[in-house]
Structure 1
């Protein structure tokens, strides 16, 4: 998720709190006695309809109130949730048959049925539902044709063949399928409940929301900035749930989050920017690795200067990433030496971290950069200064990074003149989608722990590729990986694709984001997923 649909998840996110009396006056000490914790959201919750929402507050909440066929464990591996076991595919890797737990129930006591998955998944591709997260269904039978308006959403390869039996058919084998379906978008919906309250009203407030996970939502009107999760009495694994409730509050300012944590009013506070920089030695600081890469999108449309590969390479070689992370950010972030972040996935065919085995050198090489600049300008027919624009959002951290890059390019590459445009979210999105930029600051926060989730977005004509990187060799490698019949070929093609992307400078990776959390030392058992969203369902807090 760090992409066009995730626009609210900016690198500088953090928070301002306004507490409702219902849940905002408790200290974390009282929370501990009541086995409750207080957490923050970066912005207000707007909807819990997982079929047409894909924003951070929504997915954070859904992770703790609902379950799909699988959930991720503390090692970021899928384990059975609504499904009774991890399923091995048949039909040459293209068919999965799941059995839904006999004791799985919704928070109103309704049984969870196989048709609840079929109903939810098809709603996620129904044009009338205004779906926003369709691309992740690619590979499931007919999904691509449905997305391209060539087939009806009703033809998606998912079918309930009984109350508790679900059959899923793929267009081709998908080595990452089990990780994929742990995402919130693949969670079921209680068909009878949704139809009863109405598809337009479902998920708009606590009354019109139902859950099948460890908790259910209360005290949410649909517009308030604080709400509560309480235990779901019908949850199939309720004996594993130690917390009684989870309180959420909207906090948008990092300094405010820090102060609330110090006052005992937050048990887990996400901080960034100057606040995170100043608290790196705090005893309660926890650096959370994320599958999250901050990079420069490079406009390679015909007629743009950076359509020239040598000019793209010159820019990449002129940037001192270690200085950027150590002196400008100083928040635990690390220099990026590949698109795929470390910790995203281990290549099972080599036993190595995929990011590390495909990394390039991050050391700047000014001499080579200047040589490439001269050659690239000649090839592109540029006789004067090379004028470049950097587009980004209005966050302080974004501005600081842009100013650093501007200084590096202006001072290290003679004749390069860089301008900066820091714009509101909608304006900078429009600039990127319209191609009115040379370099755009962006990020990718992986939806699931597999390199394909990064690499797949940079194929030609992908909607999340506004830089228009287009390379036939790269496209072919991604397609071969997606349709690979075995793990050896799958990972081989992914390695080749990552190296091809870096060789062509399709994007310019800058740094790997590390989230900084202030965590109550009495809080334990939180599963901070590298790819995915924090899971507090198995957490506990001591007195």
Structure 2
């Protein structure tokens, strides 16, 4: 019996050695080397469409940054560098840009042409575009008239001079025009596929093509998992080290943490109590976004908060430091202006624009109580019930409860009813005006404070609260026209616009966005953009 045991142990030891060797060999073969070549990522929701004229969401734009190439892309310092455009020429008056495109192919083998940009931009600016981003084309000749249906899309000031030369005519000089070109809203579309699939374009991976580092395969718009593979036709394919990227929808922060610990995610975004408990983790990375979470105020005629004293009271009554440090406790910081940090320094100083624009008084409960009583009297109201709409994420629910406690606990004759709903349902309430306060966020699309400020102009599709200010609109219009090419005057206009908001309170800033990422220590080469989306196209495992 003892001898048999020894023999069996020898056999098992030999078998274990063989299996171990086979495993190591298999891993080496699968990875092509010792380095891993597949990246596992998460999103908070599905991608409803990859057509930028149909929707605009963070999961969509995240995916497009990895799979598409615009005229320009952002470098590690958030500055625009050539992508599909090898170079450009600008007219002396700054109103005509001529882009010279590199020769490249779509993932299906079609040639990428200047017409593909024309096709995409006309689609994006159309009055039938559902993304809410047709305003971003404002400043291109006839864009506003096309968006309002007064002119045909064919009159938009963009033209293919030949297969690799794109001409863009502007209505006024736009110093940040090239910076805007990094945005997915300006990515091209394969003209042949747009014609072939019509409204179905971008709804499945088969119904579109990709000109970026990766291509989406086997995907349809309801999938909670999607797969990216390296695009052999990408113009810079030699710079791409990963072979695949795998996305999955993860809505629960604790689940994200568990998947990271199990090795199923290489980069996991955590929030709420999960993030709070991981602040000392060696894998934690704080990505300070140029964006704010804020309360959008419904100022429409007849709504309770159309009264400025009531809005001012709400601004002063909230202890944002308590929210950031005790409720969120994830690295977030208190925010006092709609303009978010990290967009730009104020000219001639080392001061961030958002800091320069900050009001002197940001928290004063005694004054808030007086303003609230005054506002109720002016509105002829004895008491009010405010409807606060948030998403149904854990973090937004917690922030909603915080706002509720701050307002009800410090002000009299007010009740805050919090409605935490899935994004589609919450947006339905907002777009139909059935709310008083809406917990929202905005990430700057490019490195300029106007990216945020312009969303509150009277004619902007994101101006849900119906903010109407002639002075605010005039300052932004001057920045775009008369003072567009004079940096000092341009920023003076933006500062004046923000200071006008500081008097009107159309939004109530709460905190500056931070994304807490659990990241594998051997993942390198990621471009952690403060403005725009994170770029994984040059990532690799060391």
Correspondence for 1:83 among 81, 85, 88: 85
Give the Cα separation in 2 of the matches to 1:231 and 1:387: 53
Give the Cα separation in 1 of the matches to 2:498 and 2:398: 28
Give the Cα separation in 2 of the matches to 1:350 and 1:480: 22
Name the SS for the 2:86 alignment partner: coil
Q: Is there any run of 5+ residues in structure 2 with no aligned partner, and where?
A: 1-25
Tell me the CA shift for residue 435 of structure 1: 2.8
Structure 1, residues 509-538: CA drift from partner, whole Å, max 9, x if none?
111121111000000111121121111111
Deviates more, 1:154-163 or 1:40-49: 40-49
Structure 1, residues 256-294: CA drift from partner, whole Å, max 9, x if none?
111111011111011112211221221101111112211
- 1:36 maps to which residue? 38
The 1:128/1:517 distance shift into structure 2, 3 A limit, reads: same
- 1:57 maps to which residue? 59
Correspondence for 1:466 among 455, 459, 464: 464
The answer to whether residue 46 in structure 2 is matched with residue 48 in structure 1 is no
Deviates more, 1:437-446 or 1:528-537: 437-446
Structure 1, residues 373-423: CA drift from partner, whole Å, max 9, x if none?
2333333333x2344332223333222222222222222223333333333
What TM-score does the superposition give when structure 1 sets the normalisation length? Answer: 0.89
Give the Cα separation in 1 of the matches to 2:389 and 2:530: 28
Give the Cα separation in 2 of the matches to 1:191 and 1:93: 29
- 1:369 maps to which residue? 368
The 1:193/1:282 distance shift into structure 2, 3 A limit, reads: same
The question of whether the paired residues in 1 share the 8 Å contact of 2:213 and 2:240 is answered with yes
- 1:499 maps to which residue? 499
Give the Cα separation in 1 of the matches to 2:477 and 2:455: 12
The 1:300/1:525 distance shift into structure 2, 3 A limit, reads: same
CA-based RMSD of the aligned residues comes to 2.4
The 1:28/1:325 distance shift into structure 2, 3 A limit, reads: farther
What TM-score does the superposition give when structure 2 sets the normalisation length? Answer: 0.89
The 1:203/1:27 distance shift into structure 2, 3 A limit, reads: farther
Tell me the CA shift for residue 348 of structure 1: 4.1
Tell me the CA shift for residue 119 of structure 1: 1.6
Give the Cα separation in 2 of the matches to 1:467 and 1:130: 19
Structure 1, residues 402-459: CA drift from partner, whole Å, max 9, x if none?
2222222222223333333333434432332333332222222222222112111112
Number of aligned residue pairs: give it: 513
- 1:177 maps to which residue? 177
Give the Cα separation in 1 of the matches to 2:198 and 2:215: 19
More helix per residue: 1 or 2?
A: 2
Structure 1, residues 175-228: CA drift from partner, whole Å, max 9, x if none?
221121111121112223443x42344333333332111122224355443333
Structure 1, residues 149-188: CA drift from partner, whole Å, max 9, x if none?
0000111110011121110001111222112111112111
Deviates more, 1:413-422 or 1:252-261: 413-422
The question of whether the paired residues in 1 share the 8 Å contact of 2:145 and 2:151 is answered with yes
Tell me the CA shift for residue 132 of structure 1: 4.4
Give the Cα separation in 2 of the matches to 1:28 and 1:58: 33
Tell me the CA shift for residue 27 of structure 1: 10
Q: Is there any run of 5+ residues in structure 1 with no aligned partner, and where?
A: 1-25
Deviates more, 1:257-266 or 1:231-240: 231-240
The question of whether the paired residues in 1 share the 8 Å contact of 2:478 and 2:484 is answered with no
Deviates more, 1:494-503 or 1:431-440: 431-440
The question of whether the paired residues in 2 share the 8 Å contact of 1:209 and 1:217 is answered with no
Name the SS for the 1:352 alignment partner: coil
The answer to whether residue 219 in structure 2 is matched with residue 220 in structure 1 is yes
Name the SS for the 1:182 alignment partner: coil
Give the Cα separation in 2 of the matches to 1:305 and 1:221: 43
The 1:50/1:417 distance shift into structure 2, 3 A limit, reads: closer
Tell me the CA shift for residue 91 of structure 1: 4.6
Q: Which structure has the higher relative contact order (CA within 8 Å, separation 6+)?
A: 1
The question of whether the paired residues in 2 share the 8 Å contact of 1:137 and 1:143 is answered with yes
- 1:92 maps to which residue? 93
Structure 1, residues 465-521: CA drift from partner, whole Å, max 9, x if none?
222221111111111112233222211100110111012212111111211110000
- 1:396 maps to which residue? 394
Tell me the CA shift for residue 296 of structure 1: 1.2
Deviates more, 1:113-122 or 1:426-435: 426-435
